[in-house]
Structure 1
Amino acid sequence: MTITEQPFQGWSPEAVVFDCDGTLMDTEQHWQDARVRAFREFGLRPAPGFAARAKGVHYLDCGRMMAQEADKPDLAPELTESLLAHFMERVADDPVTMPGAAEFVQSLAGRVPLAVASNCPLAVVESSLEQAGLLVHFRHIVVPHDPGAADAPGAIQRDGTLIRPKPWPDVYATAALLCGARYERTMAVEDSLTGIESALRAGLRVVGVGDRPADGGDGGADLWVPTLHSPQLLNLDWVRAG
């Protein structure tokens, strides 16, 4: 899909679904710090480029990646537990929203159903958004099934199957359905290629936000903006109409 000057001309969403980490909340550095601390705890060092490969990856998969790349596959459970513990400590100490996130969410609230589709544990997402004063604006929070919290809301799809993490389409597809929106009329807002792949596989249209990938690609996003207060985003017809 090619980014155009007017990618959403004549189009408006029936729902908007946001990623959380790196899109609404400035937590990617917290994940990076947590990965470094977890590696250090076990006397290990990440391979070059690991941070980029781990961006947007579910923490369970990230723990396995950490163990595999360190050639210590048996340490996967311990690394995963350490990773999540360090992250939760960091995010509790420093809940910060991404530039323009609060203003953009507040401008859409009440005009179109809003949801969050995240690879993070539900408690982390809800706590972060609550501390930022944003949780009240979202009708639904959808997260993947977590073996440690099997009864968490959002863990089961309507057909009874477990919700899988991004890049599977499950979190975005479920969020759109819960909002009562058609997939093709739902907009996803994402900062990672993993998340963009998930949204596209669910049939959603996508706005990428943040730093463009190092290779200059867009992952198939309809539009890529540096922040959520970018004029290119705020001047879209349906946004401006509010």
Structure 2
Amino acid sequence: MTTLLPDAVLWDMDGTLVDTEPYWISAETDLVESFGKTWTYEDAMSLVGAGLWDSAETLRSHGVDMLADDIVSHLTGVVMARITAEGVPFRPGARELLTDLRRAGVRTALVTMSVRAMAEHVVERIGFDSFETLVTGDEVTRPKPHPDPYLEAASRLGVDIERCVAIEDSRTGLASAVASGAVAIAVPHAVSIPESIEHVTWSTLAGRTAESIAEAFGSRPASAGRR
């Protein structure tokens, strides 16, 4: 390894590690339509990367007459059932990069706004010891785009957030990663992400290795850091 590796790599889950966004959109659409209302593609895109309870309030404003906790439970159950039936839809290159990082001795955490049961459901199906800790949406007071989830992950690992790389696919998640002080890598998927000096942009994780992560980590602008 010719470039210094970060102390840890912090991974988003939905849309970054796994391509579950279509599952969530389908579950949201069916739920809203069950109350005789309409849920558009644009509506669904507005929730990409958002905390589940924030999303539940949006669904309530679109006519879903259920408590927020019940909405979260329902949607999570539907998505977990699809993963059980159809398998985990890993994003291209995600498992390979995760494998290479673990082989290189890089510490890893999963930072997701899905609930712990959902995160564990995915992680159990990865097939190897992939993450040292999981920070989930039901464990943080302030979800993404606040920096709290990433700061919590670094704290649990006992590392400096500024010595971490965070990988995200959404604007909301990326805002959280950048605000935390981590070196942020954007891998746009369901929504576009504007280029910025505040983060690195990759079109895909396919073909990326621990060396690629080291290069991204070494590219942090001198002015970057925790806000």
Under a length normalisation based on structure 1, what TM-score does the superposition of the two structures give? 0.77
Amino acid at match of 2:202: V
Residue 131 (str. 1) matches residue 125 (str. 2): yes
For residue 76 of structure 1, report the CA deviation from its aligned partner: 4.8
Amino acid at match of 2:206: H
Identity %: 28
Structure 1 stretches of at least 4 aligned residues deviating more than 6 Å after TM superposition: none
Q: Which residue of 1 aligns with 2:158?
A: 180
Q: Which residue of 2 aligns with 1:36?
A: 29
Q: Work out whether residues 53 and 72 of structure 2, in 8 Å CA contact, stay in contact via their aligned partners in 1.
A: yes
For residue 179 of structure 1, report the CA deviation from its aligned partner: 1.9
Query: Which residue, 210, 226, 235 being the options, matches 2:188?
Result: 210
| Partner deviation per Cα, 1:17-52 (whole Å, 9 max, x = no partner) | 000111111111111111111112222111451121
Amino acid at match of 2:75: L
Aligned residues: 212
Separation in 1, partners of 2:39, 2:169:
22
Q: Which residue of 2 aligns with 1:83?
A: 75
Q: Work out whether residues 3 and 211 of structure 2, in 8 Å CA contact, stay in contact via their aligned partners in 1.
A: no
Separation in 2, partners of 1:204, 1:82:
33
For residue 211 of structure 1, report the CA deviation from its aligned partner: 3.3
Q: Tell me the secondary structure at the aligned position of residue 109 of structure 1.
A: helix
Q: Tell me the secondary structure at the aligned position of residue 40 of structure 1.
A: helix
Q: Work out whether residues 187 and 206 of structure 1, in 8 Å CA contact, stay in contact via their aligned partners in 2.
A: yes
Residue 21 (str. 1) matches residue 22 (str. 2): no
For residue 123 of structure 1, report the CA deviation from its aligned partner: 1.1
For residue 84 of structure 1, report the CA deviation from its aligned partner: 2.7
The 1:219–1:118 alpha-carbon spacing in structure 2 relative to 1, beyond 3 Å, is: farther
Q: Which residue of 2 aligns with 1:118?
A: 112
Under a length normalisation based on structure 2, what TM-score does the superposition of the two structures give? 0.82
For residue 90 of structure 1, report the CA deviation from its aligned partner: 2.0
Query: Gaps (5+ residues) in structure 1?
Result: 1-8, 147-154, 156-161
Amino acid at match of 1:236: S
